[in-house]
Structure 1
Amino acid sequence: MTTSLRAFHSLLPWLVATVLLSSIVAGLASAQSGERVRARELGVAPGIFPTGSHNAITDVAGVRVGQVTLSEGDRVRTGVTAILPHGSNAYRSRVPAALHVGNGFGKFVGATQVNELGELETPILLTCTLCVWKAADAMAAWLLEQPDMQQVQSINPVVGETNDGGLNDIRARPMTAEAVRAALTGASGGPVREGSVGAGTGTVAFGWKGGIGTSSRVLPASLGGWTVGVLVQSNFGGVLQVQGAPVGRELERFAFQEAVASNRSRPGLADDRGDGSIIIVIATDAPLGDRNLGRVASRAMMGLGRTGSSASNGSGDYALAFSTAESVRRPFGEPRRTTTELANDEMSAVFQATTEAVEEAIYNSLFMATTTQGNGRTIEAIPLDRVRAILAKHGIRPR
């Protein structure tokens, strides 16, 4: 089966087969590496604020997520994840947004206009490095077909990426317009699939299988009652720590391992320098303009750092934050804008919630990922039985 079919309806059987194959592969991997669970089932609950009902980015009302996994033969292991900020046309009803670049070794389509105008006019797509332009083109075409878009002559598709070339035949550029459309049209609220799915199908984090992860925080009413939701595509390195427990060191898999302890090196592997990338998407219903959303996005790096990343030279670390609040929404073509936003002094709790949710989303991306084979390689899922033992040793247990 190929991914070069000409019409979406003719691709549907292939998409169904792909999803089924992915489920079978995931099931086999889980049987080999043990049941995959989210961080909280291991007693890992960073921070002080409670989660939303799904502990996902979709806890922010109106936010929807769609994912398509592409798994063909033994070479293609990639996919696309779509994040829609609300249920209306994203071009006609724009949300304020800001992008923070922790380390800019990446290809983030649409970045300059987001930071220039401080807004999103499309959904957000995540995919593989050499697929970003194909994904952007497909989303632009899809948007131009939507109602009330007949006169539109400029559009700024927003697409982030990480490099899944270890498990995926990335040079084949296997992304298709049909897959992008399926992710966009199939987006929904509620629980979000995590691990080796969508844009996380072929990713690697801390030497183990990475993937998609999500989490949320809800502030107390006295602090505004706002919700902050996060979704990550993890594909980076470093020295993994989980709420301070030195998991990477105790599993003997971490950046610069051969350089600091050659007697514990892994035969056949070059010294890992912690390279890779992560895309972090932050949604909130707090009424924030693009300036304070930029401040929110910058706090994502704190949550990232807590997991053991040092934002290596070869890492593309991007955080994109947006607000769904009606009071800051930007209708297309409005001549003037009057908004009600949170004051600077009200931002600290939102910063705290963001840091906590980013940290937990990254753990979920690791713990939910399954051992994956592709492109001549096998990347193991992190062994949760050993992680449990390490966490217990350091006083972290399920409550």
Structure 2
Amino acid sequence: MDQKRHRIRELGFAPGHFEPGPLNAITDVGGVRVGHVTCREGERTRTGATAILPHGGNLFQDKVPAGFAVLNGFGKFAGSTQIVELGEIETPIILTNTLAVGRGIDAIIRHTLMQPGNELIVSINAVVGETNDSRLNDIRAARPRVDEISLAIDGAVSGAVEEGAVGAGTGTVAFGLKGGIGTSSRLVPVRGETYRLGVLVQSNYGGHLIVAGHDYATLAEHDKDGSIVIVLATDAPLCSRNLERLAQRCFGGLARTGAALSNGSGDYALAFSTAETVRRTPERRKGASTVPSLSNDVVSPLFEAAIEATEEAILNSLAMAVETKGFNAATGKSSTVDAISLRVLAHI
């Protein structure tokens, strides 16, 4: 196993033509914070949670516009119907394993109720996405706990984002290889302004892996089923309708990696804008307001950047993961999943 891991760009592959941000991460979008909690114990626990906070303030009071897209709906994404209906996010976003979605909701509710200014709220739309990590994790063991997921929320910070087999990606598998958390960003010129767009993924899906247009053909067996959650942030001022369109474009990057998009795959994308001009503050929600946002005619560069950043984030999730030994909850036996060979990637 390679001890030192490298992001895909360090290996000479740079998807697309837009430049990445300084960190090449979702946190290049100002105000966005990411936190992980990793549960790796004994021979059976390989799971965790990842929290994404659109800004560092009170999200329930200062909501952000958002759009949600589903390519194949074999999965559980709490809070999605209200996002579709109202076009906004009012809580941190949690990624975790399939059987921990309820505990993720509990952690978000706890966090939101405790924030100053929220003393009278009685309804919270907690946003929790999941993939199933039972190939390497005893998913029935009720981890991560509510208090552990709370640590991911409370520990969310700006700056570099840890990738690979961490947080919600601790026990995930993609293309029969170790998957995980990956991220990437782009700087996008639009009509004289440069906007930032960043993507974070939890990769746990199947297909025949493609890197730089080349099949990664050394795998004896390729998974077909599985899921992925894609979270996109941008500081471009977009309405919820165009954020939904932006989320849909993430699936173009997913397809570029060779995804099978099978019956058993849950493929979800969530996009939000951090721009102050479109933030849904209490004052703006009281009545009619004029909110400047980019028009349909100028958003195509952002669509293309979403494709590029998604592809690179997925490849980073694989390149930064390490071989992982765990417990297959479906068979009751130990399981080992190899990491992608960086030596082979470097020569693609």
Bin for the TM-score computed over the shorter chain: over 0.9
Count of aligned pairs between the two proteins: 340
**In structure 2, C-alpha distance between the alignment counterparts of 1:188 and 1:340, rounded to whole Å:** 29
Please list, as runs of the form range in 1=range in 2, the aligned pairs for 1:165-244 lying within 5 A after superposition.
Answer: 165-220=134-189, 222=191, 224-244=193-213
Alignment CA distance shift 1:139-1:51 (3 Å): same
Following superposition, the deviation at residue 310 of structure 1 comes to 2.8
Q: What residue in structure 1 maps to residue 107 of structure 2?
A: 138
Please list, as runs of the form range in 1=range in 2, the aligned pairs for 1:47-126 lying within 5 A after superposition.
Answer: 47-126=16-95
Q: Is the 8 A contact 1:69 1:199 kept in 2?
A: yes
Q: What residue in structure 2 maps to residue 266 of structure 1?
A: none
Following superposition, the deviation at residue 254 of structure 1 comes to 5.0
Q: What residue in structure 2 maps to residue 382 of structure 1?
A: 340
Which of 216, 237, 250 pairs up with 1:300? 250
Q: What residue in structure 2 maps to residue 289 of structure 1?
A: 239
Q: Does 1:252 align with 2:210?
A: no
Of structures 1 and 2, the larger Rg is shown by 1
Query: What SS is found at the alignment partner of 1:321?
Result: strand
- The amino acid of 2:219's aligned partner reads E
Following superposition, the deviation at residue 230 of structure 1 comes to 0.2
Q: Is the 8 A contact 1:34 1:384 kept in 2?
A: no
- The amino acid of 2:29's aligned partner reads V
Query: What SS is found at the alignment partner of 2:48?
Result: strand
**In structure 1, C-alpha distance between the alignment counterparts of 2:190 and 2:68, rounded to whole Å:** 28
Q: Is the 8 A contact 2:132 2:226 kept in 1?
A: yes
**In structure 1, C-alpha distance between the alignment counterparts of 2:256 and 2:221, rounded to whole Å:** 15
Alignment CA distance shift 1:223-1:168 (3 Å): farther
Moved more, 54-63 or 330-339: 330-339
Alignment CA distance shift 1:292-1:357 (3 Å): same
Which of 278, 281, 291 pairs up with 1:328? 278
**In structure 1, C-alpha distance between the alignment counterparts of 2:207 and 2:193, rounded to whole Å:** 35
Structure 1: gaps (5+ residues): 1-31, 256-271, 392-399
Q: What residue in structure 1 maps to residue 266 of structure 2?
A: 316
**In structure 2, C-alpha distance between the alignment counterparts of 1:234 and 1:169, rounded to whole Å:** 18
Identity %: 56
4+ runs deviating over 6 angstroms? none
More strand by share: 2
TM-score scaled to structure 2, two decimals? 0.96
More helix by share: 1
Q: Is the 8 A contact 1:206 1:253 kept in 2?
A: no
**In structure 2, C-alpha distance between the alignment counterparts of 1:243 and 1:40, rounded to whole Å:** 11
**In structure 2, C-alpha distance between the alignment counterparts of 1:254 and 1:349, rounded to whole Å:** 37
**In structure 1, C-alpha distance between the alignment counterparts of 2:257 and 2:311, rounded to whole Å:** 6
Q: What residue in structure 2 maps to residue 369 of structure 1?
A: 321
**In structure 1, C-alpha distance between the alignment counterparts of 2:19 and 2:192, rounded to whole Å:** 13
**In structure 1, C-alpha distance between the alignment counterparts of 2:88 and 2:108, rounded to whole Å:** 17
Q: What residue in structure 2 maps to residue 261 of structure 1?
A: none
Q: Is the 8 A contact 2:189 2:301 kept in 1?
A: no
Q: What residue in structure 2 maps to residue 351 of structure 1?
A: 303
- C-alpha RMSD over aligned residues: 1.1
Following superposition, the deviation at residue 290 of structure 1 comes to 0.5
Q: What residue in structure 2 maps to residue 22 of structure 1?
A: none
Q: What residue in structure 2 maps to residue 20 of structure 1?
A: none
**In structure 1, C-alpha distance between the alignment counterparts of 2:89 and 2:288, rounded to whole Å:** 18
Following superposition, the deviation at residue 222 of structure 1 comes to 4.6
